[in-house]
Chains A and B, each alone.
Chain A
């Protein structure tokens, strides 16, 4: 089955700095890559996603990049704010398995 690795597991940044979280996947047939944010005690919520026919997607301070050849994708958060502090999960969707495989999560702490 699909295997998704996510790094780093924890990340601390100063407010205003950028944060980058990286994920790799194993199934070359994977074609959809969502990112979820989970605040403490809350449910995971989709913040951005990218499909395999796109190399980059931006939404305000958040961007995701995809390198299909290397089978990795990354989440970029610019001008971080304290409310960005949360656990972020990457995921990979493989049509062959009809389900999403999640990374193990990155705990981001933004220090004011």
Chain B
């Protein structure tokens, strides 16, 4: 597995509370992605980053924000968690856009009560 870690791996929180998930890589890859995985929907892109402080929205970005202050870290924040954000969140990295191959982190299972 590529050097990707996610923290926390599991989290239970209450509706309305802020939550931050961290993705850390040791591969020095330029591109980083946050996906959520839900039954019947596959993997849906939330936000992605193409460099330090360079980010863009994916198809399901509402209610989420991201930050990337260092190459190795990509943070996903749920400003005010809702039950619909209960999901498994995966971070992925990619060396180049032309290459396309993405390597995934181990995932974070989030439950919003």
Residues of A within 8 A of B (CB): 1, 6, 32, 34, 42-46, 49, 89, 93, 95, 98-105
CB distance from A75 to the nearest CB of B (A): 15
When chains A and B are docked, how far (Å) is the Cα of A1 from the Cα of B45?
Answer: 12
A45 partner residues in chain B, CB cutoff 8 A: 1, 104
Instruction: Please determine whether A43 and B90 come into contact, CB atoms closer than 8 angstroms.
Output: yes
Instruction: Please determine whether A104 and B40 come into contact, CB atoms closer than 8 angstroms.
Output: yes
> Contact partner of B42 among A42, A43, A105, CB < 8 A?
A105
Interface pick from B19-27, B63-71, B95-103: B95-103
Task: Known A1-B59, A44-B90; judge A104-B42 contact (CB<8 A).
Answer: yes
B41 partner residues in chain A, CB cutoff 8 A: 104
Between A45, A46, A99, the greatest number of chain B beta carbons within 10 A of the residue's beta carbon is seen for: A99
10 nearest A-B pairs in the assembled complex, by CB-CB distance: A93-B100, A32-B100, A104-B42, A43-B104, A102-B43, A102-B42, A105-B42, A98-B97, A44-B104, A43-B106
Instruction: Please determine whether A46 and B42 come into contact, CB atoms closer than 8 angstroms.
Output: no
B107 partner residues in chain A, CB cutoff 8 A: 43
Instruction: Please determine whether B101 and A46 come into contact, CB atoms closer than 8 angstroms.
Output: yes
> Contact partner of B103 among A46, A103, A104, CB < 8 A?
A46
When chains A and B are docked, how far (Å) is the Cα of A1 from the Cα of B97?
Answer: 17
A43 partner residues in chain B, CB cutoff 8 A: 1, 90, 104-107
CB distance from A47 to the nearest CB of B (A): 11
Q: Is B74 engaged at the interface, CB distance under 8 Å to the other chain?
A: no
B40 partner residues in chain A, CB cutoff 8 A: 104
B59 partner residues in chain A, CB cutoff 8 A: 1
B1 partner residues in chain A, CB cutoff 8 A: 43, 45
A93 partner residues in chain B, CB cutoff 8 A: 100
